[in-house]
């Protein structure tokens, strides 16, 4: 179905009036340049990949990178009402999903607290890292609404939603979510202070962050368990104890270490995006025969993953391309999407985010909605 819709988009584009003019428009905005550039980088890696079956799995998610820029120049910008509607639907979905997970937690709170000490999380409707990222998005949106909406009732509702999201993110205790939450809310306060001189609101926001970190650490068992588990994993890796079979933090650190080893052997052109998995498995078998194949892990860094596949020079271009939408949002003074996109860049430091279907979808939605709403304040 996705392929049919993309082909239909291309046909309609070619049949439209002056398609050559629209092609020029595609390259006038930085977001389209980023998407097309990333696609070209991934396509070129075909010639350096021996495992073409695995390569096709990698490139499949990147097909929309060609057709979405075409769509962006063919549709009108979002009105304020349309953007608000998208926001409301998104917030409702986040509330439903967080409510469902919270209900599961309440049924067995002590059991889940013990599971967190072993690296597990409470049930979520989608992958827990992606879920935490979306909840952080929601927190920024409701915070922005609580400050800039005109109606008093709406401001109060959004303020309570913000408190709920902060509370639930601590219940969920996904480290990605916790880090993104505090960093993004802090940066939002800084932006608010610089651009609008709202000193009282900024100080109140900073106090909320400080109090939340203290109170929730004392009162929520899952966050305590997750912090203890994190330090345990780091200590086990430093002591070189054989825990990569059971401790996810050790597996993450080890997988990135193997990724760096692959890069050092293939600095110029990389190993090929289709061959990264094979190279990883080969090193696991040769250097870590004590580990079960079931726990072999992928590289947990988007930048390192792509650079391993395409080499240092082309990989550096990939990193530059990823920065362009951030500059676009800053230039348009679209500060909410500046923070949302900035969060994605942060997540890519410890997750190959755009290699998964849901992560890639989130990335594309932020780029598209951010571009189409750039004139909406």
Q: Report, as an integer, the average pLDDT of 266-286.
A: 92
Range with the poorest average pLDDT among 107-116, 154-163, 201-210: 107-116
pLDDT higher at 347 or 220: 347
Stronger pLDDT, 99 or 24, i.e. the higher one: 99
Q: What is the pLDDT of residue 376?
A: 46
Taking all residues of the chain, what is their mean pLDDT, rounded to a whole number?
Answer: 86
State mean pLDDT over 182-187: 94
Q: What percent of the chain shows pLDDT beyond 70?
A: 86
pLDDT of res. 377: 43
Contact of 65 with 36, CB cutoff 8 Å = yes
pLDDT on residue 335: 93
pLDDT at position 11 is: 52
- What confidence category does residue 261 fall into, taking pLDDT thresholds of 50, 70 and 90? very high
Q: For residue 171, which of 128, 234, 125 has the smallest C-alpha distance?
A: 128
**Per-residue pLDDT at 328 exceeds 60:** yes
Instruction: Report residue 347's pLDDT band, with 50, 70 and 90 as the boundaries.
Output: very high
For the residues 109-130, what does the mean pLDDT come to?
Answer: 84
Given this model, what pLDDT does residue 374 score?
65
Predicted pLDDT at 315: 96
Element containing residue 124 per DSSP (H, E)? none
Q: What gap in Å lies between CA 300 and CA 309, rounded to an integer?
A: 14
Phi and psi of 334, rounded to 5°? -95, 80
Lowest average pLDDT, out of 24-38, 187-201, 267-281, goes to 24-38
> Pick the residue with more confidence: 245 or 49?
49
pTM for the predicted model, two decimal places:
0.90
Q: How far apart are CA 242 and CA 203, in angstroms?
A: 46
| pLDDT of the residue at 227 | 77
CA distance 33 to 324: 8
């Amino acid at each position: 179905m996705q392929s049919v819709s993309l082909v239909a988009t291309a046909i309609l584009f070619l049949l439209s009036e002056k398609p050559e003019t629209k092609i020029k428009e595609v390259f006038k905005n930085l977001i389209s340049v980023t998407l097309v550039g990333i696609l070209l980088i991934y396509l070129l890696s075909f010639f350096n990949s021996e495992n073409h079956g695995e390569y096709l799995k990698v490139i499949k998610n990147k097909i929309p990178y060609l057709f979405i820029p075409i769509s962006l120049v063919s549709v009108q910008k979002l009105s304020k009402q349309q953007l608000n509607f998208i926001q409301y639907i998104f917030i409702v979905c986040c509330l439903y999903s967080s409510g469902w997970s919270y209900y599961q937690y309440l049924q067995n709170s002590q059991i889940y607290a013990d599971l967190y000490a072993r690296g597990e999380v409470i049930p979520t409707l989608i992958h827990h890292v992606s879920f935490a990222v979306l909840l952080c998005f929601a927190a920024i949106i409701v915070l922005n609404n609580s400050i800039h909406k005109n109606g008093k009732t709406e401001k109060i509702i959004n303020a309570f939603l913000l408190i709920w999201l902060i509370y639930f993110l601590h219940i969920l205790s996904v480290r990605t979510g916790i880090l993104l939450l505090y960093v993004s809310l802090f940066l939002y306060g800084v932006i608010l202070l610089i651009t609008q001189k709202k000193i009282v609101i900024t100080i109140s926001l900073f106090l909320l962050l400080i109090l939340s970190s203290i109170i929730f650490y004392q009162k929520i068992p899952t966050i305590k368990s997750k912090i203890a588990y994190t330090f345990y994993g780091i200590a086990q890796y430093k002591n070189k104890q054989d825990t990569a079979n059971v401790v996810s933090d050790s597996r993450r650190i080890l997988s990135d270490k193997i990724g760096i080893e692959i890069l050092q052997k293939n600095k110029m052109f990389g190993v090929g995006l289709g061959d990264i998995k094979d190279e990883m498995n080969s090193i696991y078998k040769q250097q870590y025969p004590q580990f079960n194949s079931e726990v072999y892990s992928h590289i947990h860094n988007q930048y390192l993953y792509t650079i391993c596949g395409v080499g240092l020079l082309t990989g550096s271009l990939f990193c530059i391309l990823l920065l362009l939408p951030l500059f676009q949002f800053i230039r348009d003074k679209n500060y909410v999407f500046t923070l949302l996109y900035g969060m994605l860049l942060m997540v890519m430091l410890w997750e190959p985010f755009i290699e998964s279907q849901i992560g890639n979808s989130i990335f594309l939605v932020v780029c598209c909605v951010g571009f189409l709403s750039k004139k909406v304040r």
